[in-house]
Amino acid sequence: MMTRRCLSIILAAGEGTRMQSRLPKILHKIGGLSLIGHVIRAMPAAAGNDMALIIAPGAAAVQIEAQKLAPKAQFFIQQQRLGTAHAVLAAEDLLGKNYDDIVIAYGDTPLIRPQYIEKARQKLAKGADIVVSGFYTEAPQGYGRLVEKAGRPVKIVEEKEATAREKKIKLCNGGFMALKAEHILPLLRAVGNKNSKGEYYLTDVVALAAERGLEAQVLEMAAEDIVGVNTQAELAAAEALWQSRKRQEIMAGGVSLQAPETVYFAYDTAISADVFIEPHVFFGTGVIIAAGAHIRAFSYIEGATIGKNAIIGPYARLRPLSRLADNVKIGNFCEIKQANIAEGVKINHLAYMGDVEIGTDSNIGAGAISCNYNGYNKEKISIGAGAFIGSNSALVAPLSIGKGAYIASGSVITHNVDDEALAFGRARQVNKPEGGKRLKALLSLKKGQENH
């Protein structure tokens, strides 16, 4: 475990105009979590480590989002966009404090892995003064190049400033950087802006470090781990990479995915071993699934907890605050919302149960619904253990149905039902001899008159 004190700096002041969206770029989501959220989760979070985010003026939404995951983070405003080195200097008051390591990442690189952060810090602990991330690619166009001498990086050159020889270099700048804290302020203050953009580039600290005889090292990473997001197309590509990574992680934990490429996970999806997931299942945030559950095809699940050996779907929808105990069965075209469903309950066909508590071993028939919203407020329904709710029943909240109660099919239940009671809530059937024949004749005549 690292004992060195670390300050993580996340650069999050970019405009992101190429996204063509009113939503700030770093608030777009991958796996249900914002881009900035992914980067925050990758940063060192142990006691004694701090975090600073550099944001643009008026970026309240970015600050609110970041504080959800890093409530102790400090925020600094880059008043003018004069380059990345200028952005880091916005946190100058923190940089002079008693840290060992400074790590700098970009808020639009959501696929960076925590282990790379730790590897960079380990290099600092073993004697490096600055560690820069790099990746090899056969198509380096558009990237800054890492220029090495005797196996050490001596500068990073942006493509616009690169010579023809430098443009042939296939080792590219990954963006992420780590420095010993004692060097960061002298290096940043020495950065100039004599370049095509007239900006202060953070990457220039590599050349400055080499000039001063400091030890610089490259941390080689896979290109996909430091991919940046600047457009909607790049966001979709990053989502695909992230989903592929998450699927591998899920399967490595003992979960069976019948068609992995069709299943979509959220960043916090938690699934135990021996769960079986059929094709075309979507997991929103906040899903927890216990061992032995079976999720059938085309189901949509968010904010739900599913117990052991439960069977869900096909074509089921579980909405937030659904809590399903062991051995529950939720069948095709059923929707569950804000429900506590006890062990052994069966809701097999075409039912809606919202704002309900259902006791053990109850059966909810096809087409049964909870009428839990009166146009102004949500009301609760309680169904006791062993109750039977007949098909096409409408349960009008607020309502309590007792243990072992039996609700006749087609009933509209508006009053509480006692334990073991049989409840009918439907009009008495009346049969009219030859009434059907007369009605059809009348309707046929009316239709003929309308056509003339």
User: 327: which 2 tokens?
Assistant: 């051995």
d(CA 398, CA 393): 15
Query: Is the separation of the CB atoms in 306 and 290 below 8 Å?
Result: yes
Which positions ≥6 away from 58 have C-beta within 8 Å?
none
Chain centroid to CA 56: 24
Residue of 38, 183, 280, 349 with catalytic role:
349
Q: Are 218 and 130 in contact (CB under 8 A)?
A: no
Sheet strands (E) in 307-405: 311-312, 317-318, 322-324, 329-332, 335-341, 346-349, 352-358, 363-364, 369-371, 381-383, 388-389, 394-396, 399-401
| Separation of alpha carbons 399 and 355, rounded Å | 11
Is residue 416 packed enough to be buried (19+ CB in 10 Å), middle (13-18) or exposed (0-12)? middle
How big is the chain, counted in residues?
452
Check if the beta carbon of residue 47 is closer than 8 Å to that of residue 76.
no
Task: List % helix, strand, coil for the chain (3-state, nearest 5).
Answer: 25, 30, 45
User: Residue 330 corresponds to which tokens in the numbers above?
Assistant: 């939720």
Per-residue tokens: 190: 């020495």
DSSP, collapsed to helix, strand or coil, labels residue 182 as: helix
CA dist., res. 226 & res. 431, Å (int): 73
Cα–Cα distance measured from residue 27 to residue 14, given in angstroms and rounded to the nearest whole number = 12
The encoded tokens of residue 384 equal 């006791």
- β-bridge partners, 401: 383, 417
Specify which residues 6 forms β-bridges with. Answer: 101
Beta-bridged to residue 177, according to DSSP, are 104, 132
Residue 121, amino acid: R
**How far apart are alpha carbons 278 and 262 in whole angstroms?**
9
Tell me if residue 280 is catalytic: no
Amino acid at 308: K
Active-site positions read 349
